[in-house]
């Protein structure tokens, strides 16, 4: 088993910094491109990450710690962020950084023993899950969306790279 809470927190701490560094100064053209209909822009991905911070990770952790696996925790609407008007990316990054910091402080307060990582909750679709799995998913979810943002932005120049396209795996996926 590779899970280590300290290591998961390392990823979770770096995500806001990574996103701020990568997309913080980009133009509207880069931030509003997508892979086509039904896909997300970089700004929409950041909004999704904010929504997850508000209603997914810590609320689910609290639910597991309080209810165990007797009752499924509430479902997470992965698309709810699309209903909101997005502000400038600079505001989204500030909001994400702030709520992530608060959530990591809460995580450190709530999880103080290895035993707590094995506590089980009930996911509404997946069934029984452990706290360790929830936190692992939180970290990998961040990495998934960092990769998504990178891919979406790269694909904006899909045709412009000309014959080099065959060497650029990020565009060909």
pTM of the full predicted structure? 0.92
Cα 27 off chain centre by:
22
Classify burial at 117, counting beta carbons within 10 Å of its beta carbon; exposed 0-12, middle 13-18, buried 19 or more.
middle
pLDDT of the residue at 173? 72
- Regions in the chain scoring below 50 on pLDDT: 79
Q: Give the residue among 81, 77, 17 at the shortest CA–CA distance from 43.
A: 81
pLDDT of the residue at 128? 96
pLDDT of the residue at 73? 87
- The topology under which CATH files domain 5-147 is 1.20.120
Phi/psi zone of residue 162: left (φ > 0), alpha (ψ -120 to 50 degrees), beta? Answer: left
From residue 36, how far is each of 40, 145, 152, 155, 163 by CA, in Å?
A: 8, 17, 10, 10, 22
pLDDT tens, position by position, 53-75: 999 999 999 999 999 888 888 87
pLDDT of the residue at 80? 53
């Amino acid at each position: 088993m590779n899970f280590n809470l300290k290591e998961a927190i390392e990823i979770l701490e770096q995500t806001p910094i990574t996103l701020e560094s990568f997309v913080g100064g980009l133009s509207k053209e880069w931030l509003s491109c997508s892979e086509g209909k039904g896909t997300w822009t970089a700004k929409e991905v950041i909004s999704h990450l904010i929504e997850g911070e508000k209603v997914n990770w810590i609320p689910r952790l609290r639910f597991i710690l309080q209810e165990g696996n007797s009752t499924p925790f509430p479902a997470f609407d992965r698309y709810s962020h699309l209903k909101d008007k997005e502000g400038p990316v600079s505001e989204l990054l500030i909001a994400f950084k702030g709520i992530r910091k608060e959530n990591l402080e809460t995580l450190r307060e709530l999880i103080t023993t290895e035993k707590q990582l094995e506590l089980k909750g009930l996911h509404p679709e997946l069934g029984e899950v452990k706290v360790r799995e929830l936190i692992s998913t939180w970290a990998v979810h961040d990495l998934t969306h960092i990769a998504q943002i990178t891919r979406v932005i790269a694909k904006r120049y899909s045709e412009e790279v000309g014959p080099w396209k065959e060497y650029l795996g990020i565009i060909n996926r």
